[in-house]
Amino acid sequence: MEDDNCGVSMHVSSVGQAGVLGDVEAIREALTELMDRYERPLYNFLLVLLRDRDAAQDCAQDTFIRAFEHLRQGREVNVGWLYKVARNRALDEFRHRERVEREPANYEALDENFTDDRHGRVQFALSQLSSSDRELLYLFDVDRLDAAEIGRMLGVRRGTVHVRVFRARERFRHIYNPQGDNL
Amino acid sequence: MNSHASFQHMLARRDRLTADEEIRLALHLEQCSDCRERASAWDHQITFLRSFRRENPPSELRAHVLAAVDRREGERGETRRPVAANGFIVAAFRRIGRLNVRSPWSALAAVSVAVGAVVLAPLVSQRAATPVSAYQLLRSSAQTMPSTPYHSTATVHFQAPESAMLSGHLVQHALAVTLSANNVHHFRMDVQTVRPALDGGTLTIVANGSRLTEYDTRTNTASVTTGDGASSLSSLYGRVLGLQGSLSDGLPPIAPDRSIQRYLASLQSGTIPTDTHHYAREIGQQRVLGRTADVVKFAPLVTGCVRHGDDAPGGCGTPKWSGTGTVWIDHDTHLILKYQASLPDRQPEIENYVYQVTSLTLDTGVSPQELTYQPPVNTVSGSLSAREVSGRPAVRAGLFAAPAPAGIAGAPTSLRDVQQVTTPPSGQVTAVNALYLQRRLSSRLDTIPNPGEPAHGHYLYIEQRVQVHGLPAALRRGIPVAAGACRAWTGSNTDGQHWLAFAEGSKSVLVMSDSLPERDLVRYVAEGLCREKR
């Protein structure tokens, strides 16, 4: 069982080619191994981004299905690739919402259920951030991904990630008062 | 970057510094109180964020991934064929577009647009790396209509003009729908209009085989239709449940004795001609209400003719296609869980249409007791479907005669158009809309406008409805005023429209203007509509 205090990047970071191309059983096993390691953190990353359980589940499903297809083509799947695909899928979801949707139905429930305890306050605090700050601080502090990995995901250099983290932390100070948990 | 800024950036990644960086930072912190304060704040911040407790993903997530993988492996090598759009959606949207005066039927049409799309369900192919043909899915599909009784609640929201006369002013419409169904001929549906407020009320429809009962709370009238009339109405309401198809420009209707599978198979085989400009495609699967839904996007929703050149005998000179829709179809039951559509370039336009099922219970349909529903008033024979009369008739007795706002601020106005709705079989007028336009701002006041043509210029718009239970509550949330002999309420909408509402007995009136403020509306009502009642 994954320790909540351990970042994703502390685990083995890649799953190599899943055996001989076309060996479906080996590919399935590789996919299962990927899901054993990354299903929970990936789902939670998407949940923080999208603030909608149904959407997070859909995006996570799509990500792992794509991972299967990637493995089937003999290509490597690592944690950076998974997060990047998941993030792109979440961006598609955002674009779709901007076109036609109102607030996701699960969002109100998310806030209502989680404001009574510390975890709820973390959720609420994250929800007050812009989506880019929320994503960045979650990946950096909660999932503890390496700045280089985050940079590859966002298409920026490692140094730029550090600068963005700095600015996001400053903005977060206006939301979370370090003198006490006043959320 | 200066030295201090570089230390600040080190702080941002404090737990990932090299040994050398840690030493340099520590030395800097001894000298810089600003950075010490920032470091403390950020340490708290990081500790706070790391107390985030991850949720366990739903168990279905992995199951669905593995099932999708198995499906892809099992279905490789097949090809997807293009499918045709669902004609029912087209017809139902066209119906909304045709209605110029709000009536129970406009609400019903709004619901039928969404619910009727279940015909599309077999056209959805399962997601696969290489697509599965819709025809093959059809063959393996056990059914195309719900085989289990169900109970559902849903909301419908869309924006449409107040009427065709005010197509430049979109109004938010909202309905609440409750549906219990055993099959196409046995169901109960309650369609409650929430917005616009003046149309607030509920239309109840109960189909019990060859007997169809309707009751409208607004007019407190009820009707019963039996025999062939009932079966045709059941057929129409059956479309509401999506259990039968309808006409479109390209798709022929589904005959009552023809199964949906055969119809769609014929469509796929090309024995039924289709309009090649229709398309439908699956765009994926999503979770709705905790259930897996196949998502299909299709277009167009309606087709029409460009006015110029459409005089070709028996046909349209220049067709025009409008609107796109997306429907979420429950993968197991083929029930519609969600539907979104938009017709922004039609007159009158319909935008941001959303039908959303808010609850769904399977295996619980309509009870035998509910099917023997008795309305609270005596029923008349024949449907409650209203008949609309447009043009420039004088406002009929039974509702207020709405005079021009003479002498009130602004240029003189004249009557531009009147629309009335009568309810059979008595022919009672149950709704009237009258539009006055300021004379100097419009150059076409003496001509009857083309249907759907937008009004130009400042207006005074009066709606009257038979509402036997009095003014809908939402309108009584305005500012109370005395308008002549009437007790009224006033308010303003965010788009700058001012309104006044009052009721006299079973008649509710809503007066709206984009230029006359509330005090002028009070004066208009006091000197005109309410003066009549003294």
**pLDDT value at residue A102:** 41
- CB–CB contact A122 B51 (8 Å): yes
Q: What is the pLDDT of residues B118-153, one digit of tens each?
A: 333 333 322 222 222 332 232 223 223 445 788 888
* Nearest-10 crossing angle of helices A24-50, A79-100: 50
- Token reading at B48: 């706070």
Does the pLDDT at position B209 exceed 90? no
Nearest to B40 among A122, A137, A178 (CB): A178
Q: What is the pLDDT of residues A119-154, one digit of tens each?
A: 667 777 887 888 889 889 999 998 888 898 899 888
Residue B262 near chain A (CB below 8 Å): no
Enumerate residues 6+ apart whose C-beta is below 8 A from B14. Answer: B25, B39, B42, B43
State the amino acid at position A112 in one-letter form: E
**pLDDT value at residue B203:** 87
- CB–CB contact A54 B12 (8 Å): no
> DSSP assignment of A77-109, as one string?
EEHHHHHHHHHHHHHHHHHHHHHH--S-HHHHH
Q: How many CB pairs under 8 A join A and B?
A: 126
- CB–CB contact B57 A43 (8 Å): yes
For residue A146, the chain B residues in CB contact (below 8 A) are 16
- CB–CB contact B286 A54 (8 Å): yes
- CB–CB contact B49 A141 (8 Å): yes
Nearest to A54 among B287, B340, B354 (CB): B287
Write out residues 98-157 of B within 8 Å (CB-CB) of A.
Answer: 129
Taking CA atoms, B394 is separated from B101, B104, B386, B463, B509, in Å, by 16, 23, 19, 14, 17
Q: What is the pLDDT of residues B175-205, one digit of tens each?
A: 888 888 887 778 888 888 888 888 888 889 8
Tell if the pTM clears 0.80, that is, is over it.
no
Q: What is the pLDDT of residues B435-459, one digit of tens each?
A: 887 764 444 444 444 444 455 567 8
Residues B451, B456: Cα–Cα separation, whole Å: 14
Q: What is the pLDDT of residues B298-350, one digit of tens each?
A: 655 555 555 444 444 445 555 566 667 777 777 777 677 887 877 665 545 66
Which percentage of chain B shows pLDDT scores above 90?
4
- CB–CB contact A68 B65 (8 Å): yes
Residue B23's CB is within 10 A of a number of other CB atoms, namely 11
For residue B340, the chain A residues in CB contact (below 8 A) are 100-101
When scoring A77, A136, A157, A169 by the number of chain B Cβ atoms within 10 A, the one with the most, hence best to mutate, is A169
Per the CB < 8 A criterion, the answer to whether B260 and B242 are in contact is no
State the amino acid at position B231 in one-letter form: S
CA nearest A167 in B: which residue? B12
Does the pLDDT at position B374 exceed 90? yes
Residue with tokens 């449940």: B241
For residue A43, the chain B residues in CB contact (below 8 A) are 55, 57, 61
Q: What is the pLDDT of residues A81-125, one digit of tens each?
A: 999 999 998 888 877 666 544 444 443 333 333 344 666 677 778
| Beta strand A14-15 pairing with B479-483 | unpaired
Reduced to 3 states (helix: H, G, I; strand: E, B; else coil), residue B89 is helix
Q: Which of B193, B214, B203, B105 is nearest to B472 (CA)?
A: B193
Does the pLDDT at position A35 exceed 50? yes
Does the pLDDT at position B103 exceed 80? no
Nearest to B12 among A54, A162, A176 (CB): A162
Q: Output the furthest CA–CA distance in chain A (Å, rounded).
A: 58
* Local confidence band at A40 (pLDDT 50, 70, 90 cut-offs): very high
Query: Could you report how far apart the first and last alpha carbons of chain B are, in Å?
Result: 82
Enumerate residues 6+ apart whose C-beta is below 8 A from A169. Answer: A137, B12, B42, B45
For residue B40, the chain A residues in CB contact (below 8 A) are 178
* Local confidence band at A165 (pLDDT 50, 70, 90 cut-offs): very high
- Token reading at A43: 């789902």
> DSSP assignment of B323-355, as one string?
-EEEEEEETTT--EEEEEEEETTSSS-EEEEEE
Nearest to B48 among A28, A122, A146 (CB): A122
Residue B12 near chain A (CB below 8 Å): yes
**pLDDT value at residue B276:** 43
Residues B286, A101: Cα–Cα separation, whole Å: 14
Give B38's DSSP letter: H
Phi, psi of B229 (to 5 degrees): -60, -40
CA nearest B40 in A: which residue? A178
Residue B534 near chain A (CB below 8 Å): no
Enumerate residues 6+ apart whose C-beta is below 8 A from B465. Answer: B198, B199, B218, B430, B431, B507, B508, B509, B510
Q: Tell which wins on pLDDT, B101 or B26.
A: B26
Does the pLDDT at position B158 exceed 70? yes
Residues B353, B93: Cα–Cα separation, whole Å: 10
- CB–CB contact A4 B54 (8 Å): yes
For residue B54, the chain A residues in CB contact (below 8 A) are 2, 4, 40-41, 44
Strands (E), B196-301: 201-208, 211-216, 221-226, 279-288, 291-299
Nearest to B13 among A100, A162, A172 (CB): A162
* Residue A23 C-alpha, separation from nearest chain B C-alpha, in angstroms: 11
When scoring B286, B327, B351, B356 by the number of chain A Cβ atoms within 10 A, the one with the most, hence best to mutate, is B286
